[in-house]
Structure 1
């Protein structure tokens, strides 16, 4: 009976908007309005964001613009005498960790500010007199079109709201319609918590101007302006006392434009009024239907690159919040596919070329002082935001983060010089829109100078996936500067003569060497892994570009003196230089497993002992954790080729959170719950699901390396592997049925598959002018080395094939 009720709701209240594309189930839908912000639905275009509540009597749109941050251009670094660093290091090597951490707190941490918070613009409310009693309520977010819809019935009239955050017109549009003429009557008004607020009206529009506040003695100088104007069919409207009143319209479209004086992290001289007015005036002149089509077409050029079909069940007939609540107890493959695509939707919506990167909450924030200031936390969260960018075919969305890396490389030079007296540039665990790079907060979390090494990996990832040498040339000096800092900063530790990063920490985790009273240490495993990758990437980049042979040789000499990864007394991968780990430690950070994911230093194929140690660490830490941590663990278990355990983490993450006391999970609007909301968990899970289908970090493209047993049959199309290969896979009963590869760059494509592909099944795309070269020894015999045999958790045989590809050619394989 319950299923029948849900089916009737779906058919009655949404059928008029259902089209063929809805077979992809790219829709979050609900049968009641949002009760709070974590139930509201997110829209964004990279620059603008809004949360749609869908309340019948008073629609609430919470508004964001990417450059509304407290403060103003600044540098939060300070001069530190060389002897301070020497003393902190001496205390660490003498194992006086608490004293070392206190000295770092007193002398090394920033004395100016701890970074500026990202802030809300405010809210638009649209009140509808008499709409408090309604029936037939339905609201949704269609992530195939980036469109939110609300519909309900009052006194026999069906009302509909349609909201887009236009990618092409750079305004928010709210279209109000009804199935009876002259039915639209409402009042719209703006509010903001910002300072020095002024309301004016001009040309029948509300204009709100304000200034962001000072924060931690850093004066607020971001000027913002918001303009709201309707366009109606039938009826009348007026603007009075900063309220737009619409009476008896057949249709109304409300346009919202927001702009600031921000130009870049060191320039806030733009004319906010001219920018805001231009956005609004240009948008309102256009036909709404054409604007909507343009918005959708722009969005779908990214979204439609990847599709995922894991099968269908009747769970799809239930509202999304119910499906999340029941996910662990039911089989709902469409929710898993929706969750994967929702992460891609969020990245498209919060990180467009020439915008700011997605911050701790993407672009959506309803506070002046959000948790952790909604900044860029560089000891995991910023990087996790962009894990799915290249692999899920959203390379352009990576651009804002890569631009941030270039900018912190500029500001980080003075920090490296002033604080550590080194060359190159440094970034600690936090930055903001002003690209501050000094250590902030307390030394327990902030005394971590390895942020530059981690964010620089993303410059290299872009090259690995695209093969763009011109791009690599452009970013090489940034990578080199990050490496140069560590050439100067590494210090020899006394016991083994290893070169270590000191002072530092294994992000935010206390260690037994301090009786669990301090985090500060030297030579933590994550730091060693990060510096190893950075040096290796710069060596490879220099070789590819034919540059800097002497510097590359220096890095090689330094690299061999980095501490090796070690297996501890509990069979775990050691988190620190010493065997301090406890099997009872359930800390949310698993920083030392960076070497397994996103790096490739640990592999079940090539480093069996380390792989087993990483697995033991994961088991000891346990599955339940904060939301983003479980997202990381999905990726880690996929890299261990254990799809069923990765799926178990997915069920832990897709667990409904209705209050802030619950540890980890997902809110009803599919936002990740740390809690509170942090967007990195969404992105981490999307990246982890992609790793279940395709992995390309180990010298070949592994097809279906960690497919969960519950997803027996399905297809995924459009994933990208290193080398610029676009992969489509169809599988049945866990085995590849067909495989299509588009080669963007040409070159050798090495494939690893756990089922044989027939050579005669190779088909060449129309237009190819030469036969592809497909080489393998006896196809009847699996190509398995002793090491490779250890790779597959289920002991399945695996087959390796080499395909010589041409640029732009599509290759299709069939398993007959």
Structure 2
């Protein structure tokens, strides 16, 4: 008996530990989604408390309400209030004939016409280059309501939970001797949402209805079906959609109502299936043509033929396999608190571990095989006017959404980003020509949508060229998987982006090549002289850093594919001519080409450190002067910030090898920038903080962005490729270095535990991914590396850097492993 009791105690502890790592749980339902909240995204309630489900295209959030359960649904391709089906040039959103005035616009930059008045850089950019086409916004889809007739005052033992490991949401409670349960999931294998309501020692009497916020819609019932058809309004060509619901009442009675809802009486097991599609297809410029009604019916027929149990089993197998690819296990004692209580208690290792695993689940749920990437809100939106349109912000946010898919071992989630980039590159060719007179390559501005919008933003102060930033993710995907077929597929996009910058770069007064018009997202300079909206500039540091990154990636890609030798050589000639990185009067990395930085500036964007992260060209191990300057910049910017900016700072400090500082920001992100359902808030809700936070944790534990250019060198500073060299004539200037073709064969350096926080003295992580085609498991004790296992997913070579020592080159074949200990 004692052995059995001890086993039970140990099992309970292990069970709690496992649940604490992956399960969100609550003892109350989410707040109702009120009209006030739906009309104002800053109102608190449903969106901050309901729990999310998703298969990458179809998403849902359930309230777990007792008297009425509200399930909000989304389709990630459903947008509204913009245009589709224009001719190829117009669909890009570009203002016609901008190129005729481009040099006139550039002239005011050269003359330094700051501010926002007539004839200023902003005014001229707005007048001649900025789009007048509406971007539109991500749209809500439908709402399902299931009324139970239960009185919340009679309920006991209520629990509402979401298991991120299985992707199953649950609700259960008692009313007297009756026991009621619910299950919810969105299946990726079968493209269906399924729900199950059960009762023991009681019966279910349900009213099941559905509606949509869009004015044009119709709801009918037919046998066991509820059919909703509707339209989302567009400036041109409305989006049409259909949702099918099928209700299996089991042994209960199913009653059809003329008003389009169904009633269930006397049931003990009710299963509800939902399929839904819209008419969107990712074909530029039409974006139309899906047989959404047939697809909805076919998927419903498949789901009904399989049955609930098989659907659930396939779903759990699918999600758990992806969740198991990377597992973080930190050392802590589970609190037993509900998730909202855990957040209210403040920072804890338990919360940090849960946040990591849950955010990976959000990635799986919002990005799979749909043809568009996750947006500012991932997949979930219930507002007709969502925050910042829930669009694609190309000045960090959409890129941040995909940093963690590589390091946290979810590479299949990257496909929607690739598909979307192909559309942008096609559309962006028209913008390059029509806005800027650049005949080669493609361009994209600050904001995008699912209809190929690539034009400059409607505000001239937000003039930006985003192609280099967006292409960084494309090449990083190759760096991690080493798939030459993939590289061949995306090379035209990389080359097109590089071709645009080759023609777009222009010599400045000092003779160096700069990007302009531009800005440094989303900051201002000389505000006392010209106002807080004085943002347009030339040669912003981040632009110059990203152009170097793009050109280097393009050289490597062309080398690996053995093509475009002349183009490679032209990029190598241009790189040293790029405007240098500069250290300013306060010892900081200059944000602008002139020394306009202020030590009191605590702006949330720190784009001029993009070469530190997500770039790879500033490093404490290779560029000490620039690293010291980056440290000063970070000190100036301060410790309090928005959700996504806190996540980015976590990554910055990890790259600066300061684990405790990185952990400080991750603590703040998880405890002070998280709603009750652990959605990140900017405020309000933006999902990039969730994804950026995971990226930061991965970089605390493993980094692999440096390359061994000299494999005979014994120290990392001598071995690693260095992208910036100090100008001997002007010591505070750092000139970009052109790589030669041998960089394409240089092994990546796997840096183990580069920024381990002292608070995480013991733990392990399984399945981190490293560039070069490797997966790494790491365990540590007493703040020191215990063991690392490096697994090769393809033939490759690497070097290990740990405890200040650099290994020789290690070569592995596909499937082989190397164990590393100290």
Tell me the TM-score normalised to structure 1 length: 0.88
Structure 2 residue matching 1:255: 3-state secondary structure: strand
Change in CA separation of 1:286 and 1:405 when aligned onto 2, cut-off 3 Å: same
Shift of 1:531: 0.7
Shift of 1:172: 1.1
Shift of 1:156: 2.3
Alignment map for 1:372-521 (pairs within 5 Å): 372-422=388-438, 423-445=440-462, 447-449=463-465, 451-494=466-509, 496-512=510-526, 514-521=530-537
Contact 1:174 1:254 in 2 (8 A): yes
Alignment map for 1:54-93 (pairs within 5 Å): 54-70=64-80, 71-73=82-84, 74-93=91-110
Shift of 1:100: 1.2
Shift of 1:676: 1.0
Shift of 1:798: 3.6
Aligned partners of 2:784 and 2:12: how far apart in 1?
Answer: 39
Which residue is 2:363 aligned to?
A: 347
Aligned partners of 1:667 and 1:23: how far apart in 2?
Answer: 20
Change in CA separation of 1:104 and 1:187 when aligned onto 2, cut-off 3 Å: same
Which residue is 2:265 aligned to?
A: 247
Which residue is 1:670 aligned to?
A: 678
Structure 2 residue matching 1:560: 3-state secondary structure: helix
Change in CA separation of 1:42 and 1:712 when aligned onto 2, cut-off 3 Å: same
Q: 1:157 aligns with which of 173, 178, 198?
A: 178
Aligned partners of 1:501 and 1:397: how far apart in 2?
Answer: 32
Shift of 1:530: 0.8
Aligned partners of 1:608 and 1:551: how far apart in 2?
Answer: 32
Alignment map for 1:100-115 (pairs within 5 Å): 100-113=121-134, 115=135
Shift of 1:226: 1.0
Aligned partners of 2:610 and 2:165: how far apart in 1?
Answer: 33
Contact 1:729 1:739 in 2 (8 A): yes
Shift of 1:49: 0.4
Aligned partners of 2:74 and 2:17: how far apart in 1?
Answer: 30
Aligned partners of 1:84 and 1:514: how far apart in 2?
Answer: 24
Contact 1:309 1:334 in 2 (8 A): no
Aligned partners of 2:468 and 2:371: how far apart in 1?
Answer: 23
Q: 5+ unaligned residues in a row in structure 1: which ranges?
A: 1-10, 657-664, 755-796
Q: 1:293 aligns with which of 303, 309, 313?
A: 313
Structure 2 residue matching 1:570: 3-state secondary structure: coil
What is the CA RMSD across the aligned residues, in angstroms? 1.8
Aligned partners of 1:18 and 1:145: how far apart in 2?
Answer: 18
Aligned partners of 2:695 and 2:409: how far apart in 1?
Answer: 11
Change in CA separation of 1:686 and 1:475 when aligned onto 2, cut-off 3 Å: same
Shift of 1:232: 2.1
Aligned partners of 1:734 and 1:743: how far apart in 2?
Answer: 26
Which residue is 1:333 aligned to?
A: 349
Q: 2:151 aligns with which of 123, 126, 131?
A: 131
Aligned partners of 1:93 and 1:135: how far apart in 2?
Answer: 71
Q: Does 1:52 align with 2:59?
A: no
Aligned partners of 1:416 and 1:239: how far apart in 2?
Answer: 57
Which residue is 1:741 aligned to?
A: 790
Shift of 1:303: 1.1
Change in CA separation of 1:282 and 1:718 when aligned onto 2, cut-off 3 Å: same
Q: 2:807 aligns with which of 800, 805, 810?
A: 800
Shift of 1:87: 2.1
Which residue is 1:33 aligned to?
A: 29
Contact 1:393 1:719 in 2 (8 A): yes
Q: 1:369 aligns with which of 385, 393, 404?
A: 385
After superposition, the C-alpha distances for 1:744-779 in whole angstroms (9 at most, x for unaligned) are 12222200111xxxxxxxxxxxxxxxxxxxxxxxxx
Contact 2:523 2:535 in 1 (8 A): yes
Q: Does 1:753 align with 2:807?
A: no
Structure 1 residue matching 2:614: 3-state secondary structure: coil
Judge which range, 519-528 or 149-158, deviates more. Answer: 149-158
Structure 1 residue matching 2:621: 3-state secondary structure: coil
Aligned partners of 1:441 and 1:673: how far apart in 2?
Answer: 26
Which residue is 2:254 aligned to?
A: 237
Q: 1:192 aligns with which of 186, 205, 212?
A: 212
Q: 1:705 aligns with which of 729, 736, 754?
A: 754
Shift of 1:20: 8.8
The alignment covers a number of residue pairs equal to 740
Contact 2:98 2:128 in 1 (8 A): no
Aligned partners of 1:17 and 1:483: how far apart in 2?
Answer: 55
Aligned partners of 1:405 and 1:153: how far apart in 2?
Answer: 50
After superposition, the C-alpha distances for 1:489-529 in whole angstroms (9 at most, x for unaligned) are 111111x1111111010011111274544110000000001
Aligned partners of 2:157 and 2:320: how far apart in 1?
Answer: 30
Shift of 1:23: 5.5
After superposition, the C-alpha distances for 1:68-91 in whole angstroms (9 at most, x for unaligned) are 111442331122344522122211
Aligned partners of 2:20 and 2:623: how far apart in 1?
Answer: 39
Aligned partners of 1:461 and 1:171: how far apart in 2?
Answer: 32
Contact 2:132 2:458 in 1 (8 A): no
After superposition, the C-alpha distances for 1:390-417 in whole angstroms (9 at most, x for unaligned) are 1111111011101111110001001111
Judge which range, 187-196 or 75-84, deviates more. Answer: 75-84
Shift of 1:444: 2.2
Q: 1:173 aligns with which of 189, 194, 198?
A: 194
Q: Does 1:269 align with 2:318?
A: no
Shift of 1:803: 1.8
Aligned partners of 1:148 and 1:130: how far apart in 2?
Answer: 20
Aligned partners of 1:186 and 1:491: how far apart in 2?
Answer: 68
Aligned partners of 1:126 and 1:585: how far apart in 2?
Answer: 51
Contact 1:68 1:120 in 2 (8 A): yes
Contact 1:211 1:220 in 2 (8 A): no
Aligned partners of 1:16 and 1:242: how far apart in 2?
Answer: 47
Contact 1:46 1:355 in 2 (8 A): no
Structure 2 residue matching 1:648: 3-state secondary structure: helix
Shift of 1:314: 3.6
Contact 1:56 1:152 in 2 (8 A): no
Aligned partners of 2:388 and 2:663: how far apart in 1?
Answer: 30
Change in CA separation of 1:235 and 1:203 when aligned onto 2, cut-off 3 Å: closer
Shift of 1:58: 0.5
Which residue is 2:738 aligned to?
A: none
Contact 2:352 2:667 in 1 (8 A): no
Which residue is 2:278 aligned to?
A: 260
Shift of 1:799: 4.6
Which residue is 1:554 aligned to?
A: 570
Aligned partners of 1:477 and 1:255: how far apart in 2?
Answer: 42
